[in-house]
Amino acid sequence: MKTSFFKILTVVALVAFSSCKDKAKEAETTAAEEAAVAEVTAVTYNTVADKSMVEWKGFKPTGSHTGTISVANGAVKVNDGTIESGDFTIDMNSIVVTDIPAEEKGNAKLTGHLTSADFFDVETYPTAKFEVTGIETVDGKTMLSGNLTMKDATNNISFPVTTAMDGDTMTLTSETFTIDRSKWNVKYGSKSFFDGLGDKFINDDIELKVTLVAEKAAMDS
């Protein structure tokens, strides 16, 4: 019996370890900070909404779901290819589920649940916002920091990004990272808020990947 019990514990531990290893690193999360202010010489780049998005992945014991959220608008100020300040607005009404075919009932059901008061309550909080607070190089990686406001909470997060300039177009792409949704009061199925969920819980970690395409403002041409 002891041997069987030990084997079961070993399997559970390996599964848990594998699940953690497969997830992206959590963004460093701290209290909100002052927004960055660009030098007067900085050039403005306006977000191209139909080319910018946030990809997401949520987890539960039985699997995961994926999708996208649109970036509505925003702008960044750039000096010598480096972002000095900026912000962008995320349209929470644009949540799309991509792992369930659009024509299946499950797609509309999940989308409706995510936009409801259980999760992101888009009727009350139709947008989320990211405001740049700083950028620095750490261990050879460019780390972008900013205040993420979602629902009624604001926290500062830092995550790795790469930027590329192509003529009058700048593209910022983040590495995949995770945030802990409980820090933004997204409570449904969270062990951080509810006991006795058994295997009915939903992980607090949400994976995100940001793609931001911006074009040089006309007045700066």
Per-residue pLDDT of 98-144, as tens digits, reads 999 999 999 999 999 999 999 999 999 999 999 999 999 999 999 99
- Measured distance CA(10)–CA(127) in Å, rounded: 44
Per-residue pLDDT of 6-65, as tens digits, reads 444 333 333 343 344 467 889 999 999 999 999 999 999 999 999 999 999 999 888 999
* CA 59 vs CA 56, 107, 118, 126: distances in Å: 10, 16, 16, 23
Domains of the chain, by residue range, sit at 27-220
The pLDDT of residue 5 is 38
Q: HSE-up of 193 (CA within 13 Å, CB side)?
A: 16
pTM (predicted TM-score): 0.86
Per-residue pLDDT of 65-108, as tens digits, reads 999 999 999 999 999 889 999 999 999 999 999 999 999 999 99
Q: Tell the CATH topology of 27-220.
A: Lipocalin (2.40.128)
Read off φ and ψ for residue 103, nearest 5 degrees: -80, -10
Grade residue 219 by pLDDT with cuts at 50, 70 and 90: low
Read off φ and ψ for residue 181, nearest 5 degrees: -60, -25
* CA 167 vs CA 51, 144, 172: distances in Å: 16, 22, 14
